[in-house]
Amino acid sequence: MTKARELWFAILLGLAVYCLVVLAADHAYIGGSKCMMCHKLAKGGEVWQVWEGTAHAKAFESLSVEKGDTENPKCLKCHTTGYAAGGYVPGDTTMNLKGVQCEACHGAGADYKLTHSKAETREKAYAEQGLMKPDEKTCLGCHNEENPNQPAEPWNYEKMWAKIEHHLPTE
């Protein structure tokens, strides 16, 4: 085989492997800091500022290091973003997915970030990229009887949503 053919073969093989990895992968997590780039702005609804003022933003910091909570899968599934689903990995210093960030409720956002500004509508972009509009069922994934810090009173979706309510502009 000539050097040119070997080079082309290597390029094609690399491209094939890359495509297989990308197409086979589920939607990837990117971290809230990537969402912040647009959603801190008025045209992005300033939802980042709302999130920063919530307990969700400080969920990881609320874990006890002394008790080992920061390594406990039972804690990490609700105090991090995407734990055991391709997101947060203990000790990973390459991406900060600590706390309940955007993708914890809306879904992994890498594909959405790449294409949402090109979609005809926000709803179409959401559907095409695997994102979701959170609802009470989404919240109950963590705010349930398995949560050792769940208050004695029944969890009230409307009351709790009022604490974190955020909307994107209608345009």
Q: Distance between CA atoms of 32 and 39, rounded to whole angstroms? A: 10
- Whether 8 shows a pLDDT value over 70: the answer reads no
Average pLDDT, the chain: 82
| Least confident among 3-12, 41-50, 75-84, 156-165 | 3-12
Distance CA(20)–CA(154), nearest Å, equals 46
**d(Cα 31, Cα 41) in Å, to the nearest integer?**
17
**Residue with the larger pLDDT of the pair 13 and 115:** 115
Name residues whose C-beta falls within 8 Å of residue 165's C-beta, 6 or more positions apart in sequence.
50
For residues 20 and 78, which has the higher predicted lDDT (pLDDT)? Answer: 78
Q: Report d(CA 129, CA 106) in Å as an integer.
A: 11
Output the 3-class SS for 60-116: CCCCCCCCCHHHCHHHHHHHECCCCCCCCCCCCCCCCCECCCHHHHHCCCHHHHHHH
Q: Decide: pTM greater than 0.75.
A: yes
* Residue 58 neighbours by CB under 8 Å, 6+ apart: 99
Instruction: Give the chain's length.
Output: 171
Whether residue 115 is predicted with pLDDT greater than 50 in this model: the reply is yes
What's the pLDDT tens digit per position in 119-159? 556 666 666 777 888 999 999 999 998 898 888 888 899 99
**CA 134 remoteness from chain centre:** 12
18 pLDDT band, cuts 50/70/90, is very low
Q: Is the pLDDT of residue 93 over 90?
A: no
83 vs 25: CA distance, rounded Å: 16
pLDDT at 149: 83
In the chain the domains, ranked by start, together with CATH numbers, are 27-164 (1.10.1130.10)
Tell me how far apart the alpha carbons of residues 15 and 10 are, in angstroms, rounded to a whole number: 8
Closest CA to 96 of 64, 66, 57: 57
**How many of the other CB atoms lie within 10 Å of CB of 5?**
9
The secondary structure of the chain in percent helix, strand, coil, rounded to multiples of 5, reads 50, 0, 50
